[in-house]
């Protein structure tokens, strides 16, 4: 109060009036609402800063920031030095974690987090050796100020710096990548929460770090205006900062002490007059604000290459005899520090993380200090004021620094009308606690808003999962439909192929009967050769005219044994399988097969005068009994085998086992739909193979029956 | 007289054309009521309503062929919403879900799984990964908790477990709301 140099008449008048009506002080600053609690800051300021305390064990949660969890880079039993990188991740928004002191990694396990839920999270447990050996310049910097924002961002990321005012948003993600996007760089030194003095002490002891840190950021991002807001109850800090900011373009602005002056939107409005619209970030209006501790950490990282491993923490509260500020190593236990401050009564009550206004009671007192912890508050529980019904006095509405309607929010939250709560912009609520503070009925209003926020988030999450489930279900239905259709198509194609086969058989028979005088064997051979030529394209018909009847018989016999050695099932299944797989192939195969069968049937007819009705293959072969027929069949088989061998040679197929060919032939036929040229070729081959296989099988069957 | 008739005739023709055009141009595909109902259904695709999914149930409701109180996972709230959309009398739920508060997801005991793919075929949202004779696993984020995979498993290796609460998913509890009655007598009773 003493440091404000001149007071206008208006200010004097208001201050005079505030003795009668305290809320008159609201006219001294720009933002709406606000309250004036008892600050109790002198408690911790009356004791010196502790800097040399190194706890025996440090618990470092892998997630100390908003974003994704980091992954440990050390293993059990590793000896680490101070400033050594312990955990990092590239998977998303995260800040790496460094060793706060030298020592040994004794465990990586679940430990209770300093979180309202009291849930546990994976943490690295470091047992200090009390030597505090450090890696100097572990970030490997040359002490120069990065000229480009990207370089500064990378360095800040590597240093593991997060917003130290309490939000815990990784600082590098907050900085824009382009120069000139920011008009005002704001230094937040308005520590408005009662009891907390860590920023005050930091400004008193390390004002130069803070100012230099701000200058680094300003230079890197090309920012002209640097404003530092400090509440007028921090006289020493203001003096120290003014001294450090001398001859720089950092302007120290003294602001009125009011709660919540330290809120980002409130201080921005106070310093620049810009009121941040809903759903916008400060960057959108050209403002970048960071806490004094963040600037000090940036200075340490950029100039000295030191990552963020410790922070100033206030240990205070009415329950402590010896409250103090401490340059605490991250990972120090709440309980240990509170015990250091000599509690008046045993710590059987929960410690509070943060101040009395916004602080959160811990579920366990043995939780570690993380990058965002600014205060440990030990206040013995007082008998709670019984909440009374809301009397609609509207005090909360007057106190709300965001201009919300706390009373309406309360009623709707209470009756679970979350859509209405959302309409009333509950998500703009900063949970500062002004409304609860002024409520004459002692209604825990902020609790209701927190609950409403959680519920709305939960509902949104559920909606998203329902939408996803719907999409996936619909996609599945579509897929099943498609598969069903494909199956039907296949069956239809198969049926058609069978029909066609029957039709062709009939037509072939009629053509056969037209020229009964021709030598059956010769005709069949010629036709087969022709068919083969047509099928093979360039391949020449492998006629073997010089083979004697005996040789042919031998060939046939060989083939028979060949066929007999293979199980008959595989003979039959391979072609049929192929038919199933390729709807187009079987047609061709069936055609070829039908032709050959027809030819054979004609032969049989010629020799045995059997009836010309379309009989099945087996029927036809069964009826044949003469030697001639056998021989003719043998001729056919031998020829086929020879052709096949030749083809196998041509295609450099190592096995000359004829049974392999059908399966081989299916391979090229896979491309049928892709390239029509290739497809026709492949089709031909497949058809050939199928026909051959069938013929062979028949031969072996019939001959076996005969013998 | 004639002019009046002509004017009205012209107007009639004009509006007729307009209406005809509008009916073609702004044609609504599908049943908007079914669509609306489908949006309020929880999309677990569990089939507890007797229909093969949420959409078929919504369509049946839109046609008035089904009761409004069949959606078990949706519970009372969804029933009210459905009856509002369909303008029908709300009906008491016959079956209530066992735990409404917490989402449950299927979990496969991967040591027991024999890779029979039965559960994969049963899953209405394709949230189970695996192949024949290979171990299967559930994609937790996509599981709707419909329990359709449980009866088909021949080795009973699937269990429904509540989804794990993390600090990210944790929500603030409701501040015991009825601690202060809405109307209090004065002086307040102790």
Q: Is residue A476 part of a domain?
A: yes
Tally of domains in chain B: 2
Q: How far apart are CA A231 and CA A219, in angstroms?
A: 26
User: In this structure, are B116 and B151 located in the same domain?
Assistant: yes
CATH number at residue B113: 3.30.70.20
Mean pLDDT by 10 residues, chain A (707 residues): 62 86 86 91 89 92 87 92 92 90 94 90 93 88 87 92 84 88 92 92 94 93 92 92 91 91 91 86 89 94 93 93 93 93 90 91 92 91 83 93 93 91 92 93 92 92 88 90 95 94 84 54 60 52 51 67 52 42 49 60 50 41 49 64 62 43 40 45 60 58 50
ipTM exceeding cut-off 0.85 for this assembly: no
Q: Is residue B18 part of a domain?
A: no
Q: How far apart are CA A697 and CA A562, in angstroms?
A: 10
Interface probe for A, chosen from B46, B57, B125 (most Cβ of A below 10 Å), is B125
Local structure of A499: helix, strand or coil: helix
User: In this structure, are A174 and A259 located in the same domain?
Assistant: yes
User: In this structure, are A403 and A315 located in the same domain?
Assistant: no
B42, B43, B167 ranked by CB distance to A117: nearest: B167
User: In this structure, are B111 and B148 located in the same domain?
Assistant: yes
User: In this structure, are A578 and A434 located in the same domain?
Assistant: no
Q: Is residue B59 part of a domain?
A: yes
Q: Is residue A614 part of a domain?
A: yes
Domain ends where: A346, A361, A376? A361
H-only helix segments in A25-96: 42-45
Q: Is residue A368 part of a domain?
A: no
Q: Is residue A370 part of a domain?
A: no
Would you give the distance in Å from CA A32 to the centre of its chain?
40
Residues of chain B above pLDDT 70, percent: 89
Interface of B with A in 66-95 (CB under 8 A): none
User: In this structure, are A205 and A351 located in the same domain?
Assistant: yes
Cα-Cα-Cα-Cα torsion A235, A239, A240, A242, nearest 10 degrees, comes to 130
Most distant pair of Cα atoms in chain B: their distance: 92
Q: Which helix (H) or strand (E) holds A324?
A: strand A324-329
Tally of domains in chain A: 4
Structure tokens belonging to residue A82 = 């101070």
Question: From the CA of B114, how many Å to the nearest CA of chain A?
Answer: 24
User: In this structure, are B79 and B109 located in the same domain?
Assistant: no
| pLDDT at A449 (0 to 100) | 94
Q: Is residue B148 part of a domain?
A: yes
**Chain A residues with beta carbon closer than 8 angstroms to that of B37:** none
User: In this structure, are B115 and B143 located in the same domain?
Assistant: yes
- Range(s) of the domain holding residue B37: 33-86
| pLDDT at A391 (0 to 100) | 92
CA dist A644 to A168, A490, A540, A651, B173, Å?
76, 30, 12, 10, 80
User: In this structure, are B77 and B116 located in the same domain?
Assistant: no
Q: Is residue A338 part of a domain?
A: yes
Q: Is residue B92 part of a domain?
A: no
Q: Is residue B152 part of a domain?
A: yes
User: In this structure, are A548 and A674 located in the same domain?
Assistant: yes
Report, in angstroms and rounded to the nearest whole number, the Rg of chain A calculated over CA atoms: 45
**Chain A residues with beta carbon closer than 8 angstroms to that of B179:** 386-387
Q: Could you give phi then psi for residue A608, rounded to 5 degrees?
A: -110, -5
- Range(s) of the domain holding residue A17: 1-30
Q: Is residue B70 part of a domain?
A: yes
Q: How far apart are CA B118 and CA A511, in angstroms?
A: 54
| pLDDT at A660 (0 to 100) | 39
CATH number at residue A312: 3.40.50.11540
User: In this structure, are A455 and A574 located in the same domain?
Assistant: no
- Report the candidate in A306, A128, A86, A282 with the shortest Cα–Cα distance to residue A206: A306
Q: Is residue A346 part of a domain?
A: yes
User: In this structure, are A119 and A18 located in the same domain?
Assistant: no
User: In this structure, are A467 and A348 located in the same domain?
Assistant: no
- Please indicate if any CB of chain A lies within 8 Å of the CB of B59: no
CATH number at residue B64: 1.10.15.40
Higher pLDDT, B176 or A270: A270
Q: Is residue A511 part of a domain?
A: no
CATH number at residue A460: 1.10.1060
pTM, 2 dp: 0.70
Q: Is residue A604 part of a domain?
A: yes
Helix and strand element counts for chain A (H, E): 23, 16
Q: Is residue B23 part of a domain?
A: no
Expressed in angstroms, the distance from the first to the final Cα of chain A is 123
User: In this structure, are B72 and B37 located in the same domain?
Assistant: yes
> Hey, CA dihedral for A278, A283, A287, A292, is it positive or negative?
positive
């Amino acid at each position: 109060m003493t440091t404000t140099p001149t007071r206008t008449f208006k200010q004097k008048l208001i201050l005079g009036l505030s003795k009668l009506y305290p809320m008159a002080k609201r006219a001294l600053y720009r933002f709406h609402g606000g309250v004036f609690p008892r600050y109790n800051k002198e408690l911790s300021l009356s004791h010196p800063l502790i800097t040399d305390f190194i706890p025996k064990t440090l618990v470092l949660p892998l997630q100390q920031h908003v974003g994704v969890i980091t992954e440990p880079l050390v293993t059990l039993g590793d000896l680490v030095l101070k400033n050594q990188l312990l955990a990092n991740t590239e998977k998303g928004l995260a800040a790496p974690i460094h060793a706060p002191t030298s020592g040994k990694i004794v465990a990586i396990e679940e430990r209770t987090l300093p979180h309202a839920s009291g849930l546990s999270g994976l943490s690295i447990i470091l047992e200090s050796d009390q030597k505090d050996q450090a890696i100097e310049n572990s970030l490997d910097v040359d002490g120069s100020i990065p000229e480009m924002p990207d370089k500064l961002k990378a360095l800040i990321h590597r240093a593991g710096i997060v917003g130290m005012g309490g939000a815990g948003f990784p600082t590098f993600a907050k900085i824009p990548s382009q120069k000139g996007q920011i008009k005002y760089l704001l230094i937040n030194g308005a520590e408005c929460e009662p009891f907390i003095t860590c920023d005050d002490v930091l400004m008193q002891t390390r004002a130069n770090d803070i100012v230099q840190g701000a200058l680094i950021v300003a230079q890197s991002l090309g920012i002209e205006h640097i404003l530092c807001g400090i509440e007028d109850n921090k006289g020493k800090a203001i003096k120290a900062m003014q001294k450090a900011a001398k001859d720089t373009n950092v302007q120290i602005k003294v602001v009125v002490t009011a709660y919540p002056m330290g809120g980002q939107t409130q201080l921005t409005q106070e310093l620049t007059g810009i009121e941040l619209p809903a759903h916008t970030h400060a960057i959108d209006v050209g403002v970048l604000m960071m806490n004094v501790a963040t600037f000090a950490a940036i200075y340490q990282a950029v100039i000295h290459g030191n990552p963020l491993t410790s922070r100033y923490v206030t240990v205070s509260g009415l329950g402590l005899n010896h409250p103090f500020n401490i340059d605490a190593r991250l990972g120090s236990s709440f309980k240990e520090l509170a015990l250091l401050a000599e509690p008046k009564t045993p710590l059987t009550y929960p410690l509070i993380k943060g101040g009395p206004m916004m602080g959160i009671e811990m579920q366990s007192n043995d939780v570690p200090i993380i990058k965002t912890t600014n205060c440990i508050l030990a206040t013995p529980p007082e008998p709670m004021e019984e909440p009374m019904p809301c009397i609609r006095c509207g005090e909360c509405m007057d106190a709300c620094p965001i201009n919300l309607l706390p009373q309406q929010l309360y009623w709707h939250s209470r009756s679970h009308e979350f859509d209405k709560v959302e309409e009333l912009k509950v998500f703009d609520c900063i949970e500062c606690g002004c409304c609860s503070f002024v409520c004459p009925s002692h209604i825990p209003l902020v609790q209701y808003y927190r609950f409403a926020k959680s519920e709305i988030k939960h509902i949104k999450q559920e909606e998203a999962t329902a939408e996803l489930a719907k999409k996936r279900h619909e996609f599945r239905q579509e897929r099943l439909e498609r598969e069903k259709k494909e199956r039907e198509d296949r069956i239809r194609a198969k049926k058609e192929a069978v029909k066609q086969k029957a039709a062709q058989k009939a037509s072939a028979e009629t053509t056969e009967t037209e020229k009964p005088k021709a030598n059956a064997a010769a005709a069949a051979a010629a036709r087969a050769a022709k068919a083969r030529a047509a099928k093979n394209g360039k391949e020449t018909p492998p006629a073997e005219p010089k083979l004697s009847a005996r040789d042919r018989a031998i060939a046939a016999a060989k083939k028979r044994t060949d066929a007999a050695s293979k199980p008959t099932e595989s003979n039959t299944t391979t072609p049929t399988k192929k038919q199933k797989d390729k709807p187009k192939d079987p047609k061709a195969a069936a055609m070829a097969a039908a032709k050959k069968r027809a030819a054979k049937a004609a032969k049989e007819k010629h020799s045995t005068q059997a009836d010309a009705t379309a009989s099945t293959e087996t029927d036809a072969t069964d009826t044949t009994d003469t030697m001639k027929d056998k021989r003719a069949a043998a001729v056919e088989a031998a020829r086929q085998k020879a052709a096949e061998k030749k083809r196998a040679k041509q295609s450099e197929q190592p096995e000359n086992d004829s049974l392999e060919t059908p399966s081989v032939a299916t391979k090229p036929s896979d491309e049928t739909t892709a390239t029509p040229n290739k497809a026709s070729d492949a089709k031909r081959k497949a058809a050939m193979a199928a026909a051959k296989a069938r013929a062979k099988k028949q031969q072996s069957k019939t001959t076996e029956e005969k013998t | 007289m004639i002019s009046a008739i002509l004017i009205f005739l012209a107007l009639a023709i004009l509006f007729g054309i307009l209406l005809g055009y509008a009916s073609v141009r702004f044609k609504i595909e599908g049943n908007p009521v079914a669509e609306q109902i489908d949006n309020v259904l929880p999309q677990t695709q569990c089939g507890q309503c007797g229909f093969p999914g949420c959409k078929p149930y919504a369509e049946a409701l839109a046609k008035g062929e089904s009761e409004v109180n069949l959606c078990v996972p949706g519970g009372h709230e969804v029933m009210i919403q459905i009856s509002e959309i369909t303008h029908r009398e709300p009906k008491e739920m016959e079956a209530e879900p066992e735990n409404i508060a917490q989402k449950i997801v299927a979990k496969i005991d991967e040591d027991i799984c024999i890779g029979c793919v039965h559960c994969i075929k049963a899953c209405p949202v394709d949230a189970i990964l695996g192949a024949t004779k290979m171990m299967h696993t559930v994609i937790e984020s996509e599981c709707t908790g419909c329990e359709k995979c449980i009866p088909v498993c021949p080795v009973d290796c699937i269990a429904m477990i509540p989804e794990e609460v993390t600090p990210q998913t944790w929500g603030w509890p409701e501040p015991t709301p009825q601690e202060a009655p809405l109307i209090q007598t004065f002086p307040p009773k102790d």
